[in-house]
Amino acid sequence: IGGHPKGGDEPVRPAGVRSILAVASGKGGVGKSTVSSNLAVALAKQGRRVGLLDADIHGPSQPRMMGATGRPASPDGKIIEPLHAHGVTLMSIGLMLDPDKAVVWRGPMLMGALQQMMTQVNWGELDVLIVDLPPGTGDVQLTLCQKSAPTGALVVSTPQDVALLDARKAMDMFNTLKTPVLGLIENMSTFHCPECGHEAHIFGHGGVQAESEKLGIPFLGALPIDLDTRLAGDSGTPIAAGDSPMAQAYAQLADRLVQ
């Protein structure tokens, strides 16, 4: 990560933000938000100034995963003050919406909401702004890539064929939009039974690495199916905030990204 926006139209990028990292997936439920929040916390623990923008319009889960409650303040009605949790500056579309209402927005409204979160939120000085995208290849992805020129994208997938199939589409979209794919992450890779130590490959194993090799994209690592990861996300303190082996796995992932 690091670097500057590409040419073309003037990108809508907050003034103090050095780089934008998009976290994407083809399918929903593969752990894109979990990886985004843990990566944000791991980078912040390494002393980087990190922002997390939850742009998953249809399932904004970052406020819950990061344990951030309350509504962001806007004393002047224009600039929105973000929240702060676990050393990360946080803004989520979910903080502006009624959590029990479904979002039925058309493309232009989605574009407007994303631009607003980019330009009106007081992000301050950040080394990296992580954008947790909705799954798939829709208007939010298009707007982000075309208007804000992300430095790069990470694609999260499970090893399952149906997830990989959609992850390929997401990578194809980034190629078309000239956003470099910095790497692939296999999430929910293996399950180590805590009772007997048996290792099970519930969604398969190794598919994402094989795909990376085929496409010549860096493989950034495999994260296991881990009960504590799920519990930590649900409790609002990402596992990366602690010092368990999973926290170390996220620290390594952060290291690989900033190399």
CA nearest to 187, candidates 57, 63, 61, 27: 27
Name every residue whose Cβ is closer than 8 Å to that of residue 148 and which is 6 or more positions away in sequence.
5, 11, 12, 13, 20, 118
CB of residue 207 to ligand ADP, shortest distance in Å:
15
CB of residue 102 to ligand ADP, shortest distance in Å:
16
Query: For 86, left (φ over 0), alpha (ψ -120 to 50), or beta?
Result: left
CB of residue 236 to ligand ADP, shortest distance in Å:
12
- Give whichever of 66 and 182 is closer to ligand ADP, judged by the CB atom: 66
- Give whichever of 54 and 211 is closer to ligand ADP, judged by the CB atom: 54
178 and 5 Cβ atoms separated by less than 8 Å: no
- Give whichever of 34 and 89 is closer to ligand ADP, judged by the CB atom: 34
CB of residue 63 to ligand ADP, shortest distance in Å:
12
Query: 28 among the known binding-site residues?
Result: yes
246 and 31 Cβ atoms separated by less than 8 Å: no
Query: 30 among the known binding-site residues?
Result: yes
CA distance 131 to 92: 10
Query: 27 among the known binding-site residues?
Result: yes
CA distance 132 to 25: 10
In one-letter notation, the amino acid at residue 214 is: K
Residues that bind ligand ADP (CB under 6 A): 25, 28-34, 61, 187-188, 223, 225-226, 229-230, 233
Query: 31 among the known binding-site residues?
Result: yes
CB of residue 195 to ligand ADP, shortest distance in Å:
17
Query: 32 among the known binding-site residues?
Result: yes
Beta-strand pair 50-54/88-92 = parallel
- Give whichever of 31 and 63 is closer to ligand ADP, judged by the CB atom: 31
Q: Residue 121 has what DSSP assignment?
A: B
- Give whichever of 55 and 80 is closer to ligand ADP, judged by the CB atom: 55
Residue ranges for the known binding site for ATP are 26-33
Residue ranges for the known binding site are 26-33
